[in-house]
Amino acid sequence: MTPPPPAAPPRPEPDSRARINLEWLLRLRWGLLLGQTLVIGVAAFGLELALPVPVLAALLGLEALTNVSVRAWLSRGLRVTDGTIGKLMLWDTLVLTGLLALSGGTHNPFTTLYLVNVALGTVLLPARWMWGLLGFTLMAFGSLFVLQDVELPAGLSRPDHAELMRLHLNGMWVAFAVAAGFIVYFVQRVTRALGAREQELAQARALHARREKVASLATLAAGAAHELSTPLSTIAVVAKEVERALATAGTSESVREDLRLIRQQVDRCRDVLVQMSADAGQTTGEPFHPVPLGRLVEDMLAELPGRERVDVELPGEARAWHVHGPPRALARVLRGLVKNALQASQASRPVALRVRARGGGALLEVQDAGTGMPADVLSRAGEPFFTTKPPGEGMGLGLFLARTLVEQLGGSLELRSSPGQGTTASLALPVTEPRAAPERAS
């Protein structure tokens, strides 16, 4: 009975994208807050401009408090929407307007930071929120022309006109560098994230295509076995009856030998269909179990012709490593790789099977002593029905099905070959070490 197909990966929560965007926005806000603090410190204490430092510091503290509050809100797992990000960016625009109004207004070169907020909103927000943020930013920028003529309360003062012009001229390059740096950094991070996402989608599409090919092969094999079983059985029965009739009639031995050859070829056709059905269909129907690596190698060697030519290098600690997967299919994959190596090597040359640890898994390398493969053949190795073997020795499905199964288990299959230097098949599989038995209390 075929088990149900593996469950699809869980879909991300509806607010996962907005949550990720908010995480990135918080990081950028901390960077922007640090930059604003440095600029105000340099302007007030380095350039000795008359700035209302306590009020500016209070606005920066309020911005930092907002960051801390949003971080605490995120840690509680509350729902994040595009509106959450939009409101936070509107608040950032309002705070920036207050900072600019108290430190030169329209003469402050750091009005370019408005553009940073608009650029971030273009990436993070949907259209309606983006246009709303742009309109609010334009109004906020325009309000600086009005606020610069408003009298400040007693105790607060603005730089005079000469200081404002000096601040504007000296800060234009710095303001441009800060704004451009934030925009380039964020856009580059988004571009890399999109590239990684596209690569993941391409790999998922390739894996889905291979699985569809495996399903098609299973259907083809089952249909061929069903449709051809009856005529092959009929041919076998009729050939046997004809052989008996000819033996009774005293027909020559050569004619009866031809009939026996027909029966042998019919049996060969049956074996091919059975093998095709097993290779294409049984992998998906076999249940998964944890298999010790030592047992997997033993099962592979048990049914392998020419196993005396295989030099196995399996460390003692690696024997107990467990591979989670279909046992028979895994043994068939490994047997197919070793069989290919034996066929590619001369009868007097051995084949090496080495097992070693790599990362968090096991690496099984099968190395033959054959003539190797040129680059054009190596690039096609693993395609369904592509084979360089003589007719009757292979159908070109072994490597394709092996790679498909191994990738479903989270591993990989890689072929390395050079003409005249043989071929090495590297099979990487995730493994788990056996848990030690708990000690009994004395």
Query: Does the residue 6 lie in any domain?
Result: no
Residue 85 has what pLDDT? 86
Same domain, 387 and 238: no
Tell me if 153 is assigned to some domain: no
Least confident of 115-119, 245-249, 270-274: 270-274
Whether residue 246 is contained in a domain is answered as yes
Last residue of a domain, one of 235, 265, 282: 282
Classify residue 104 as left (phi > 0), alpha (psi -120 to 50) or beta. Answer: left
Residue 6 has pLDDT above 60, yes or no: no
In contact, 279 and 397? CB cutoff 8 Å: yes
Q: CA nearest 25: which of 73, 76, 92, 99?
A: 92
Residue 15 pLDDT > 60 = no
**The pLDDT of residue 168 is above 70:** no
Pairing of strands 423-430, 361-367: antiparallel
- Angstrom distance (rounded) from CA 22 to CA 88: 9
Same domain, 77 and 191: yes
Tokens of 274: 């059975």
**Residue bearing the bigger pLDDT, 13 or 435:** 435
- Which of 263, 282, 301 finishes a domain? 282
pLDDT value for 221: 64
Residue 404, pLDDT > 80, answer no
CA max distance for the chain: 131
Residue 181 neighbours by CB distance under 10 Å = 13
Quote the pTM value: 0.45
- For residues 300 and 271, state if they share a domain: no
Which pLDDT does position 136 carry in this prediction?
Answer: 92
> Which residues pair with residue 365 across a beta bridge?
354, 426
Q: What is the mean pLDDT of the chain?
A: 76
111 and 259 share one domain: no
More confident residue, 48 or 359: 359
- Residue pair 31/182 in contact by the 8 Å Cβ criterion: yes
User: CA dist 195 to 191, 238, 418, Å?
Assistant: 6, 64, 33
Banded pLDDT at 8 (limits 50, 70, 90): very low
Half-sphere exposure of 154 (CA within 13 A, CB side): 0
Q: Is residue 8 part of a domain?
A: no
- For 329-349, the pLDDT digits (tens) are 888 888 888 888 888 888 888
Strand partners, 432: 322
User: Tell me, what's the pLDDT at 251?
Assistant: 74
Closest CA to 281 of 326, 322, 334, 324: 326
pLDDT at 161 over 60: no
Distance CA(412)–CA(403), nearest Å, equals: 7
Q: Give dist(CA 70, CA 318) in Å, integer.
A: 49
What is the mean pLDDT of the segment spanning 169-178?
70
Q: Check whether 309 has a pLDDT greater than 80.
A: yes
- Three-class DSSP labels, 160-224: CHHHHHHHHHHHHHHHHHHHHHHHHHHHHHHHHHHHHHHHHHHHHHHHHHHHHHHHHHHHHHHHH
Taking the alpha carbons of 60, 62, 68, 70 in that order, is the dihedral positive or negative?
Answer: negative
Provide the pLDDT for residue 439: 46
Same structural domain for residues 22 and 110?
A: yes
Q: Which of 409, 167, 194, 368 is nearest to 283 (CA)?
A: 409
- Tell me, what's the pLDDT at 10? 41
CATH number at residue 359: 3.30.565.10
SS3 379: helix
Q: Which of 8-17, 77-86, 258-267 has the lowest mean pLDDT?
A: 8-17
Examine the domain organization and report whether 385 and 324 are in the same domain: yes
- Statement to judge: residues 338 and 248 lie in one domain: no
Residues 427 and 298 in one domain: yes
Contact indicator for 310, 301 with CB cutoff of 8 Å: yes
Question: What's the mean pLDDT in 13-29?
Answer: 72
Question: 279 pLDDT band (50/70/90 cuts)?
Answer: low
Determine the Cα–Cα distance for residues 272 and 280; give it in Å rounded to an integer. Answer: 12
Residue whose pair of structure tokens reads 């920028």 in the numeric block: 141
Rounded to whole angstroms, how far apart are CA atoms 144 and 109?
13
Please tell me the predicted confidence (pLDDT) of residue 121: 84
For 351-357, what is the mean pLDDT? 88
Domain of residue 275: give its range. 219-282
pLDDT at res. 198? 77
Percentage with pLDDT > 70 across the chain: 76
Single out the residue of 400, 372, 405 nearest to residue 385, CA to CA: 400
Cα separation, 28 vs 375, in Å, equals 48
Q: Does the pLDDT value for residue 436 go beyond 60?
A: no
What pLDDT does 139 receive?
Answer: 92
Whether residue 437 lies inside any domain: the answer is no
DSSP characters over 95-108? HHHHHHHTTTGGG-
| Closest C-alpha to 375, from 412, 413, 426, 419 | 419
Express each pLDDT in 219-239 by its tens digit: 666 666 667 777 887 888 888
Q: Alpha-carbon distance 392 to 395, whole Å? A: 8
Predicted local distance difference test score (pLDDT) of residue 385: 65
Look at 269 and 210; give whichever has higher pLDDT: 269
Question: Quick one: which of 216, 224, 334, 229 has its CA closest to 284?
Answer: 216
Domain boundary among 140, 174, 206: 206
Do 269 and 384 fall within a single domain? Answer: no
Same-domain check for residues 301 and 324: yes
Shared-domain flag, residues 173 and 127: yes
Are residues 113 and 20 both part of a single domain?
A: yes
Residue 112 domain flag: yes
Q: Give how many domains the chain has, as a whole number.
A: 3
